[in-house]
Chain A
Amino acid sequence: MKRSNLTRKDLAKAINEKMGFSQRGSGDLVDAVFDTLKKALLAEEAVKLVQFGTFNVRKKAPRKGRNPRTGAAMEISKRSMISFRPSKIVREKINQS
């Protein structure tokens, strides 16, 4: 099965074809959408898009770990990570095919 990869360019093309913005303008609009999403996540705000899924910022506490090569104990600093949970709509759509 051939798997293709959707990129910024494909999204820009979709906007160009559907709405008539120029190729370049469409690309800028795609960037603006992801910039807006990023800004919210960087402000540690969850983003809930019912039709697609939810992005959450999860905080992880510092913990003790080991350097796998040397075995030396070390502290892994606290960090944040972004998690994504696909919406029910998307989960059902994927499993239909």
Chain B
Amino acid sequence: MNKSELIEALAEETKIPLRDASMIANTILDAMSDALAANDSIEIRGFGSFVVKQYDSYFGRNPKTGEKIKVRPKKLPFFKVGKELKELVNK
């Protein structure tokens, strides 16, 4: 499923025009990525949560050449599946 399929399914489910469904999906996704960019966490009951983790710099290797390279410190969002969804997906 991609974003346009999500929007179509949402419009059908809620019986709202496609244009509105599209704006809703974009508003939510933008708010979520803005939150992560600001280092905030996200918590959606029944779905899961996102936390930005900070990674220190480390020495890695180029897997192709075996060359040693320094990886800069970075931040990455980490998703933790909510309990409800975790259980449902295993049924």
Contact = CB atoms under 8 A, between A and B. Distances in A.
Interface of A: 1, 3-8, 10-11, 14-15, 18-19, 28-30, 32-42, 45-53, 55, 57, 79-84, 86, 89-91, 93-97
23 contacts: A1-B39, A6-B31, A7-B42, A8-B45, A11-B27, A18-B27, A32-B14, A33-B28, A34-B46, A36-B13, A38-B88, A41-B89, A47-B6, A51-B26, A51-B29, A51-B33, A52-B33, A57-B89, A82-B79, A86-B36, A94-B76, A95-B75, A97-B38
Interface of B: 1-3, 6, 9-10, 13-14, 16, 20, 23-33, 35-48, 50, 52, 74-77, 79, 81, 85-86, 88-90
Contacts of A91: 76
